[in-house]
Structures are given as C-alpha cells and as structure tokens.
Structure 1
Amino acid sequence: MSEQNSQTTNVNKIRIITQVLTTALKLWLRAQVSEISELEVEIKASDRQILSGRIPSVSIFASHAVYQGLLITKIQLIAENIQINIGSILKGKPLRLLQTVPVVGDLTIDEKDLNASLSSGLLSTGLSELLVKVLPTYCPKTQPINWQEIILKNNQIILLGSKVTNSQTTPLEISLGLDLVNGRQLQLTDIQIKDDQTDLFQDNHAYSFDLGSDVDIQQLTLIPGKLVCRGRINVNP
C-alpha cells in the first residue's frame, strides 16, 4: 500500500470514529431530556485526542428541550476537558463520562414555555414548596395552590393561582423579585401577595437559596416575557 493510500485510510478511519462519537454524544444528550426539538453537536479535538478518548471541547446547541418537566427554549453550551470511554463506544456501547465535566453557556426560557411547564407538575410543586418554606403563614402546606400563569417582567415574577380553603376557591397573585447574590445563591425580594385584589402581605426582607457547589451563575436576567441565565455547571459521571 502506498503512503498516500495509507494516509487516506487513516483519515477515513478518523472520520468514521468522529461520526460514531458524535452520534454517541447526541444519544447521550437526548437521554438526559424527555423531549428535544433541535440538537447540534460540534466536537473540537485532534485525531490523537479522539483516539485517546480525551476531548478538549464540545459545542452544543439545543432548542425546546424538556428537562425534568421544565421546557427550555434555547441552550448554547460549551463543555471542556471531557474524558469518555472511547473503546466501549467503538464497540457500540453507550457513552459514559469518566470524570466531572465543566459546562459553560447560556440558557433561555420564554414565558410561554415556562407556563407550558406548569402542566408537568414539577414546576408547580416546586413553586408551592418554595412559598411554603418562605411564607408558611400565608402559603401553608395544608392549602395547596393551583398555579395558572407565570408572568415575567423586568426583574420581577408574578405568579397567578388559586388557593382552596374549605371548598372555597380564592384567587391569588404573588409578585416577587429575583436577584443573583453570587454564583450559587439566588435571592427572593419584595414579596407581595394579593387575595382577590386585596393586599394581604408585603415583605421587604430578602430570602436566599443555595443552588449547590456544582453551580456558578454569572448572570441572571429577567425581562418581559423571558428569563436568560449565563453560567457554569458541573456535569458529574
């Protein structure tokens, strides 16, 4: 075999391995969500790095992905320093991470997609549990709230729902500010509760929540109809 033919064969092998790896990565990403509309993956690595299972960088774009019941409008991510089980992948086995992978990027959730997530129950339950913790007197666990709509404004969230008490349904409107304290802490501020247009409660205190050591949020923006988040999260094996 000539040297040129040998080089062509090696290039073809690398191309096939890259295609197999890209397919395996897409399958792994799709397995992390229950639904996804669009998914693009770009692997940035040399031939030697791919063959060793070490990938310096992967760019990921996805739209309308459903993760644990939450509909995410758009995601743009870059994952770095990835180590995978390349030998097993080439034998047709699923991709597996061999170490924690830092992922940085942007996440966007439109208001309509956030409201569509209420039907899953996960978001509505999370909101109720959050308010039970912050405002146990006005949002007791024994009186669950049926959430109907979420409205996003500049640095403000408005929650519309109804509370059932002794078979009587009462409309509720809860408004609150959402701020970023630091990379792993969010803060609720300026909480107001209206009961059928009557002011029931107003609290100017701030309530902080820790998101954990695997999260580092750099920017959190609330604008009319949209929530945008930029930061880093560790994806563990």
Structure 2
Amino acid sequence: MMQLLASGLQLWVRQQSQSIGSLDIQLQGTGLQLLRGRLAGVQLLARRVIYKDLHFELVELSSGPIQVHSGNLLKGKPLQLERAFEIQGQVSLTADGLTRSLSAPQWRALGDGLGEALLGIVPLVELRMCRDNLVFAARALGTPDLVELATTVVAARGSIEISSVVGNVSSRLPMDPSIHISDARIEAGMVQLIGTAQVSP
C-alpha cells in the first residue's frame, strides 16, 4: 500500500511539473494510517526541475500530515488529495536557471521589471554569479555594451529582496500569498531560498 502511494505521489508530482531530472519520495507513517486516509508526511528530493517555466537545480521539501483518498489508489485510479497541506523546504537556482526562467514568456515582464528597477535599462539579458553576488546584466537598445550590477539577496517580509552591493538600489519580488520565504542567500554558486507554501488539491 505504501509503495502504491509512493508511486501515485511520484506520478502526481511529475504531472504538476514540466520536467524533472530525478525524483525521490520518502513516505512517513504506516499502512494502517494510510487505509484511514492519512499520511504522516512526505519528504521529496528532486533535481533539475522545471515548474511553471521556473528552472530549479535542486528542490528539497517535507510536508506535514496529508489527507488522501486511499480508495482511489486501491481501484487503480490517480491519487487524489483531500485537502490543502503545508510544505517546508529549500529550492536552489543557478544563474543559468534564473536567466532561462526570466526569459520565459510568463516571467519576461518580471525580468525586465528587475532590469528597470535595478539598472534603469531593459531588456534584461542575463544573470551570472560572481563570488557571493548575483550579477544582473542588461543592454540598452541600440548599444553593444552590457550594463552590469552586482547584488545580494535576502528574505524580506515573506518575499525576496534584491539589493545592489554598491549604492542603495533594491527591488522586492512580488510573491504568491501561499508562499512565505523565511531565508534567502547565495551559497555554493546558487541562489538558495527557504520557506513554506500551501499546496492545494
């Protein structure tokens, strides 16, 4: 039964994502609890994830208790979640992943908004890592040279604030109300975000 649920959860997670390189799911609880429609929790580790055109290098998540319709699994039907649940965890993004994310149509306006707020120039061309800084690069129309700005990232009021290393330029990202960022930093050559989120069925 637990293996059946693990397979069902893996399928559900893959269906929510555009692409996943590798995925490992560990279940917490007992078969008896599952028969009653309750799972104590889930731990997930995934690499090279694309979700809503956001490119994550690493995703590490754990959940609280989850209510599921166990009868569906026994009938060979897809997993169905009964109610929303909370997850905690960390995601890591490379500079290349951020560049590809902000180049996607649904996030391009955000990328150009950051270019305008931080550099005063659009379009945003790329992001790269330099030591412990995230460097934004934009090119004004009709000019060959890039304008660059080294920044740091921190958590601020449940969101992510990007600030220039030199000067006092900063921009706070708009955040889905179901997501709360508690820590943001640049480490091991990646932007690492820690927080919680509500997952709806």
The answer to whether residue 87 in structure 2 is matched with residue 103 in structure 1 is yes
8 Å contact kept, 1:153–1:222: no
- Structure 2 CA distance for partners of 1:121 and 1:191, relative to 1, 3 Å: farther
Match of 2:120 in 1: 138
SS in 2 for 1:95: coil
The answer to whether residue 152 in structure 2 is matched with residue 177 in structure 1 is yes
> Which residue identity is paired with 1:104?
Q
Percent identity over the alignment is 22
In 2, the alpha carbon distance for the partners of 1:39 and 1:62 equals 4
8 Å contact kept, 1:65–1:73: yes
The answer to whether residue 73 in structure 2 is matched with residue 73 in structure 1 is no
Match of 1:13 in 2: none
The answer to whether residue 19 in structure 2 is matched with residue 35 in structure 1 is yes
8 Å contact kept, 1:154–1:224: no
CA deviations 1:166-200 (Å, max 9, x no partner) are xx244332423322223x132232387xxxxxxxx
8 Å contact kept, 1:189–1:207: yes
Tell me by how many angstroms 1:126 deviates: 2.2
8 Å contact kept, 1:174–1:191: no
Between 1:91-100 and 1:31-40, the stretch displaced more is: 91-100
The answer to whether residue 199 in structure 2 is matched with residue 235 in structure 1 is yes
8 Å contact kept, 2:102–2:110: no
SS in 1 for 2:76: coil
Tell me by how many angstroms 1:146 deviates: 5.2
- Which one has a bigger Cα radius of gyration? 1
8 Å contact kept, 1:39–1:60: yes
In 1, the alpha carbon distance for the partners of 2:65 and 2:9 equals 15
In 2, the alpha carbon distance for the partners of 1:206 and 1:118 equals 18
8 Å contact kept, 1:70–1:122: no
> Which residue identity is paired with 1:179?
V
SS in 2 for 1:171: coil
Counterpart among 218, 222, 226 of residue 182 in structure 2: 218
8 Å contact kept, 1:64–1:72: yes
User: What are structure 1's unaligned runs of at least 5 residues?
Assistant: 1-16, 193-202
> Which residue identity is paired with 2:133?
Q
Match of 2:138 in 1: 161
Tell me by how many angstroms 1:204 deviates: 1.5
User: What are structure 2's unaligned runs of at least 5 residues?
Assistant: none
In 1, the alpha carbon distance for the partners of 2:76 and 2:13 equals 16
What is the TM-score of this pair, normalised by structure 2?
Answer: 0.84
